[in-house]
Amino acid sequence: MSDNLVYSTATGKITAVKTTPEFTGDGIVRITRETKGRKGKGMTVVRGVNPLTHDLKAHCKKLKQLCGCGGSVKEQNIEIQGDVRQQVKQYFEALGLTVKLAGG
């Protein structure tokens, strides 16, 4: 049974309160390359960009244009197709953010 109550016989219709997710990052943008769960295809994943101060979808769109590939925003992470870590690093450094290439 779901915890989301939408109607009560005592009070009638209940409106849902949508909360914004909190960001608990340390201010460092981490760029990794992942292949797990993607049938061996490489994906550049950007973590640590604060969604409260930055528009993740706008950054994703700019990165896709810059790199000439596809991508999306999932769970406060930007995912860009292919191994384009250096281009992504240069993009975020130009914005004045601290960037680290994480992983191998």
Ranges assigned E (strand) in the chain = 7-8, 12-13, 28-34, 43-47, 71-74, 77-81, 98-101
Q: Which domains does the chain have, with CATH numbers?
A: 20-101 (3.30.780.10)
Which phi and psi (to 5°) does residue 42 adopt?
Answer: -80, 145
Residue for token digits 């994703």?
Answer: 60
Model pLDDT, residue 93: 94
43-58 residue pLDDT tens? 999 999 988 888 999 9
Instruction: Give me the torsion for CA of 61, 47, 28, 22, rounded to 10°.
Output: 100
Model pLDDT, residue 100: 93
Tell whether the model's pLDDT for residue 19 goes beyond 60. no
